[in-house]
Amino acid sequence: MAVVLFGASVATAVVTEAGAVTPTTPLKFKLERGTVSPKQAVPGSVKSQRIIFRFRASRATPVAIRVIKLGSGRTVRRFAPRKIRPGRWHRVNFNGLDRKGRLVGTGKYQVRVGPVGGPLQKLSRLRLHGHRFPVVGPHGSRGAVGMFGAGRNGGRTHEGLDITADCGRPLVAVRSGRILEAASDPALKGNYVVMKGRSERRTYLYAHLKRPSNVREGQRVRAGHRLGSVGQTGNAAGTPCHLHFEVRSRGRLLNPEPLVSSWVW
Ligand SMILES: [Zn+2]
């Protein structure tokens, strides 16, 4: 058995019973085109990242696809090689999970593709984030009155951040996780949802939803799962439509503002 490398191409050889070496055609593998779409995502999202590519080669061959962390060079995910044909588009879905189904960490990654046993070639970069923004589409702020810690009547303070958006705009899970509560509180929160993020100690409260949420307590959700719509229920009647968003870490309130501003990407 002899494996000879010609640059990026791999040539294999067959040893006959008589001991003569008969080279097979060189594979001449060349990655032609391809990409990852979308390039940025949260691991465990409703929509996977699609890896698409096309290659040239002298014949069908088993192709290896790996997602590699930039910097460390560590492979976080490899796809089982399949014998596939050159000159066609091929597609695999990457959901941001490793081989054991755990969330892959945040950071920059590179997808490499190549023949099994041969050098892998760079296809595209991708980026994974820990969270996504809770409102889909255009959104704004209520100014000082909507900030974390702002005064409220009865000596209360504002325990979340108000994010304005048109009534009816979709609200989505900022990360994959589990629903802790989905209920209604006519006096304050209106229709609301509380979820816990997966592999972290944080919980998220979404309040003033237009209608009661379709999710139920105990349900697992992926990042981007629809939790409801922006509304003005509870004590938000008469205010501009907005999401009241609270973040707790191990039960302690956090200021959501610096967090959510880094979740716009
Ligand atoms: Zn609020």
Question: Which pLDDT value is given to residue 20?
Answer: 54
148 CA from centroid of ligand 1 (Å): 8
223 CA from centroid of ligand 1 (Å): 23
The verdict on residue 135 lying in a domain is: no
Q: What is the pLDDT of residues 86-101, one digit of tens each?
A: 999 999 999 999 999 9
213 CA from centroid of ligand 1 (Å): 18
**Nearest one of 244, 62, 228, 56 to 156, comparing CA atoms:** 244
The verdict on residue 33 lying in a domain is: yes
Q: Is the pLDDT of residue 112 over 60?
A: yes
154 CA from centroid of ligand 1 (Å): 15
Q: What is the pLDDT of residues 173-183, one digit of tens each?
A: 999 999 999 99
- The CA distance from 126 to 21, in Å, is 43
208 CA from centroid of ligand 1 (Å): 9
pLDDT, mean of residues 188-209: 98
* Distance of alpha carbon 16 from the chain centroid: 50
- Domain count along the chain: 2
44 CA from centroid of ligand 1 (Å): 28
Among 68, 103, 128, residue at a domain's last position: 128
The verdict on residue 37 lying in a domain is: yes
Among 128, 149, 184, residue at a domain's last position: 128
Transcribe 159-183 into DSSP letters: -SEEEE--TT-EEE-SSSEEEEEEE
- The CA distance from 141 to 152, in Å, is 17
186 CA from centroid of ligand 1 (Å): 14
Domain containing residue 240: 140-261
pLDDT band at 4 (very low <50, low <70, confident <90, very high): very low
Residues 181 and 238 in one domain: yes
What's 100's domain CATH number?
Answer: 2.60.40.10
265 CA from centroid of ligand 1 (Å): 24
| Mean per-residue pLDDT over the chain, rounded | 92
4-8, 131-135, 203-207, 241-245: the lowest-pLDDT one: 4-8
Question: pTM of the entire structure?
Answer: 0.87
177 CA from centroid of ligand 1 (Å): 23
244 CA from centroid of ligand 1 (Å): 4
The structure tokens listed for 42 are 């949260």
245 CA from centroid of ligand 1 (Å): 7
Q: What is the pLDDT of residues 29-58, one digit of tens each?
A: 999 999 999 999 999 999 999 999 999 999
pLDDT band at 21 (very low <50, low <70, confident <90, very high): low
pLDDT, mean of residues 122-136: 98
161 CA from centroid of ligand 1 (Å): 6
The verdict on residue 14 lying in a domain is: no
The verdict on residue 86 lying in a domain is: yes
Task: Provide the CB-side half-sphere exposure for 18 (13 A, CA).
Answer: 3
Question: Which pLDDT value is given to residue 50?
Answer: 98
